[in-house]
Amino acid sequence: MQRYLQIENAGMAFHTRKGTFTALTDVNLDVARGEFIALIGHSGCGKSTLLNLVAGLLDATDGVLLLANKEIRGPGPERAVVFQNHSLLPWLTTFQNVYLAVEKVFGGKEPRAQLKVRTAAALDLVGLAHAAAKLPGEISGGMKQRVGIARALAMEPKVLLMDEPFGALDALTRAHLQDELMKIVAATGSTVIMVTHDVDEAVLLSDRIVMMTNGPAATIGDILDVDLPRPRDRLRLAHDPQYHALRSRVLEFLYNRQMRPKEAA
């Protein structure tokens, strides 16, 4: 595997009133270009902390993180984050919310007309061209999440980081957006790291599932290769023995960790 993102001996400690809290320790992971990685584990295992280290929103207290052989030092347009909360500006239209990100990255490099083309293309990619003039308060929760994804994709990031982007949605909307995400990733060739608590989501979407041990001082406990062929169809997978075997592997890991309360945060 050709390494694109490298996480080497990464650790993260926070200084609190009660002393030092070590969230992560000795995290080592190589990610290939175009790979879809799912991070899974119990609450408090440092999944979001690890994602924030890759995003540059936190600086590792130990180790180093490299993207294309360059050390990650702070946020950058080559990495875009989609949070569970869509974080749209309520006074801006769908188009304007996406355009704001496009202008931040490409403003001054391209004429305004081209920035509008980029914005429209991103909305079309997530199936929201018809809602371009609507305010966030006028669209559904699932559509808001698609705007957040469009905003991230419009920046043309090298790495797309997703922190439980579908966690607050109902089951049908979540399934629809999972299917849409698979199509978008196939079309863009994006490298994706996604935090999830959903075992089925992890198996359906990812190329590898990174399973985290319980915190504090969490680390990678195991990595599971998801060698299911693409494109993936959730209805066919429901009857696929290999899918169920992979799902069972993840559930067994999580169950075994749940039985170790001394590791819990």
Measure the CA–CA gap between 78 and 69, rounded to whole angstroms.
13
Is residue 8 assigned to a domain? no
Is residue 215 assigned to a domain? yes
Q: What is the mean pLDDT of residues 110-117?
A: 95
Q: Which residues partner with 209 through β-bridges? A: 38, 224
Give the model confidence (pLDDT) of 175-233 as tens digits: 988 998 898 889 888 899 999 999 999 999 999 999 999 999 999 999 999 999 999 99
Is residue 178 assigned to a domain? yes
Is residue 153 assigned to a domain? yes
Measure the CA–CA gap between 243 and 225, rounded to whole angstroms.
12
Return the SS3 of 58.
coil
Q: What is the SS3 string spanning 63-108?
A: EEEEECCEECCCCCCCEEEECCCCCCCCCCCHHHHHHHHHHHHHEC
Q: What is the mean pLDDT of residues 247-255?
A: 95
Question: Using 50, 70 and 90 to split pLDDT, how confident is the model at 1?
Answer: low
Supply the range of the domain harboring residue 159: 34-48+73-263
pLDDT of residue 263: 45
Is residue 169 assigned to a domain? yes
pLDDT of residue 259: 54
Strands (E), the chain: 3-16, 19-32, 36-40, 62-67, 70-71, 79-82, 159-163, 191-195, 208-212, 220-225
Is residue 20 assigned to a domain? no
